[in-house]
Structure 1
Amino acid sequence: MNLFDATIMGIVEGATEFLPISSTGHLIVAGSLLGVHDERGKVFEIAIQIGAIFAVIWAYRERFNGAIKGVTRVSNAQRFVWNLFVAFLPVAVLGLLLNKYIKAVLFNPYGVAAASIIGALVIFWVERPSMLADRAVNARVRDVDDMTALDAIKVGFAQCFGLIPGMSRSGSTLIGGMLFGLSRNVATEFSFFLGVPTLAAASVYSLWKERALLSSADIPVFAVGMVVSFIVALVVIRWLIRFVATHSLRVFAWYRLAFGALILAAGALGWVQWPAA
């Protein structure tokens, strides 16, 4: 992988991490097209999520700073930190148990295509017109500080679907949050917040586990990917919170259908020789 490849992958990561279209799925496809989806490339794909993590921390620095300062004495800060912890637990446990199987079986463009299409159908069902107005009026939780531990762990279990490449971690938490009574804005913001421990744990675990594959020569490539993903993700975060407040997610469902269909068509027609894993 060279610096150009790292830049492209950083753009893909930053642009897709917090949209309900699956950053992992897009990185797998982009890496396959660039010819960098080998074992080291897979570590890179996970590691550059660190850039997206820092984008969330920077965009919500006042919130995180307040949580850190008030965690021992302010009830809202304590609840916020506790909710992130309990929401993170399900994906941490399942990720450790299923990581090897998921990478061996599902980390390929065909798996991404299938999950992308299935996820699109779920979005169409959840965002059907008859339900949009009802959720807007009857949302039970309208502020992240009003979430209970039960709300958080429900979203945490929804996040587990994001372990499947192409399904989307952010999409799973966003859709799950709305189904469980969170307003669109709260579901979106909590998805951002939950991404910090989730992506940080995945990145650190992958870097440590596969450290034998890496060397000091990889530092420039990894640094470029992280910096680019940070910049692009920061733009996406600020745009998405405004978009979700006033728009349906159906546009992302249409995109997912087209993305999945294009992957399948490219393989079937011989345009691209997709790797099996």
Structure 2
Amino acid sequence: MHHHLSWLEAGVVGAVQGVAELFPVSSLGHSVLIPAVVGGSWARDLDVRSAESPYLAFIVGLHVATALALLVYFWRDWVRIVRGLVSSIARREVADADQRLAWLLVLGTVPVGIVGLVGEHFFRTELARPVPTAVFLMVNGVVLLGVERGRRTDREHRDVEYVDERVSGVESDHRIVRTSVLRSVAIGATQILALAPGISRSGVATTGGMLAGLTREDAARFSFLLATPVILAAGALKVGDLTGPLGDGIRPQVLFGSLLSGVGAYLSVRFLTRYLAGRSLRPFGAYCLAAGAACLVWFAVR
């Protein structure tokens, strides 16, 4: 059976997913809402709830490209983190910042990993409809605006410039590892909320980190590091579908969309690590509220 996925559909969804996965605006939410807003063949071809559609496998395949972009951007950090994990296990110690960060990331990804394996089908089939997704997108906006409203101005880190990413990354990690294990697990567990389309993984993890006492840029960095293994694992579990019957007739378009997704994700994380050093999440919160409301109006009048 050959499925249909046009080059335009693959390109638009791929580019949007790459950017929206790291911007706190929900990539899955956009993947549900864009086809619903456009309607017609887009709504038929791009339905994550359909068991017959390759769209879900396509979306998850895009996540692999996103995760690879994160690995490329943070490669020096992941070398340190993996080395820290290996040395910690070998020596049975947690003696330095790299070893502690490695374990905080491992423990922080456990809750969303378990819930994702058990509940992904429920979240996708019950919640991935246009109206609930638009509502969740507005909720995401309220969360972003709310955490900024209750937030004091970031302390001495407010005007930090990322002049040397290697130095700033190490310094950020030393601040992150002061977070308790319980709080780190709680920050990681916020990603469970992002299984609902419209709730941003990076958004809830960043706001969770801010509520736990991290500066905005440290919380965003921690959210990017937490997201990488989760996104990669989810993609690895589903991307095999594209090598089977679900991928028939659409593999070139999938590769095209994945390329755009990877490039978009790399440029996004590069931008956000600088932007969030001294600016707020309010513009993203306002966008989510406006986009969610506009979608609801569109669905009501169409």
- TM (norm. structure 1) is 0.88
Aligned pair partner of 2:72 in 43, 51, 58: 58
Q: Which of 37, 52, 55 in structure 1 is aligned with 2:46? A: 37
Secondary structure at the counterpart of residue 84 of structure 1: helix
1:122-201 equivalences under 5 Å are 122-128=143-149, 131-133=151-153, 136=155, 143-201=175-233
Report the CA distance between 1:146 and its aligned residue.
3.5
Contact persistence 1:14–1:229 (CA under 8 A): yes
C-alpha distance 112-136 of structure 1, shift in aligned 2 (>3 A):
farther
Q: CA deviation at 1:31?
A: 3.4
Given the alignment of the two structures, is residue 3 of structure 1 paired with residue 7 of structure 2, yes or no?
yes
How far residue 150 of structure 1 moved from its aligned partner, in angstroms, is: 2.3
Cα deviation digits, residues 36-65 of structure 1 (max 9, x gap): 223211221121011111111111111112
Structure 2: distance between partners of 1:247 and 1:228: 27
Could you say which residue in structure 2 is the equivalent of 1:16? 20
Q: Which residue pairs with 1:204 in the alignment?
A: 236
Provide Cα deviations, 1:173-192, integer angstroms capped at 9, x if missing partner: 00011001111111101111
Whether the 8 Å contact between 1:142 and 1:186 is mirrored in structure 2 is no
After TM superposition, what 4+ stretches of structure 1 lie above 6 angstroms from structure 2? none
Q: 2:137 aligns to what?
A: 116
- For residues 73 and 47 of structure 1, the distance between their equivalents in structure 2, rounded to whole angstroms, comes to 32
Residue type of the alignment partner of 2:195: L
CA contact (8 A) 1:106 1:164 kept: yes
178-187 vs 148-157, which deviates more? 148-157
CA-to-partner distance for each residue in 1:218-269, whole Å, 9 max, x for gaps? 3212211111111111111111111111111111111001110111111111
Structure 1: where are the runs of 5+ without partners? 271-277
Question: Which amino acid letter does the alignment assign opposite residue 237 of structure 1?
Answer: V
**Deviation string, structure 1 residues 77-109 (Cα, Å, up to 9, x no partner):** 322221111111111111122211111111122
Matched, 1:228 2:228: no
Output the amino acid matched with 1:176: G
In structure 1, what residue type is equivalent to 2:86? T
2:109 maps to 1:79: no
- For the residue of structure 2 that corresponds to 1:165, the secondary structure is coil
Alignment partners' CA distance in 2, 1:231 and 1:138? 29
Residue ranges of structure 2 left out of the alignment (5+ in a row) = 48-52, 89-95, 159-172
Contact 2:84 2:102 in 1 (8 A): no
Check conservation: 1:31, 1:41, Cα contact below 8 A.
no
Shift of 1:68: 2.7
Aligned pair count?
A: 268
Q: Which residue of 1 aligns with 2:296?
A: 264
Contact 1:156/1:173 (8 A) holds in 2: yes
CA distance in 2, matches of 1:145, 1:231: 30
> What RMSD, in angstroms, separates the aligned Cα atoms of the two structures?
2.3
One-letter amino acid of the counterpart of residue 232, structure 1: G
User: Does the C-alpha gap of structure 1 residues 142 and 117 become closer, same or farther in structure 2, counting only changes over 3 Å?
Assistant: farther
Which of 32, 40, 43 is equivalent to 1:28? 32
Deviations 1:121-154 (A, max 9, x none): 22222111x5332x53699x97234344223201
Q: Which moved more, 1:21-30 or 1:117-126?
A: 117-126
Identity %: 28
Deviates more, 1:98-107 or 1:25-34: 25-34
1:97 maps to which residue? 118
Structure 1, 54-63 or 75-84: larger mean CA deviation: 75-84
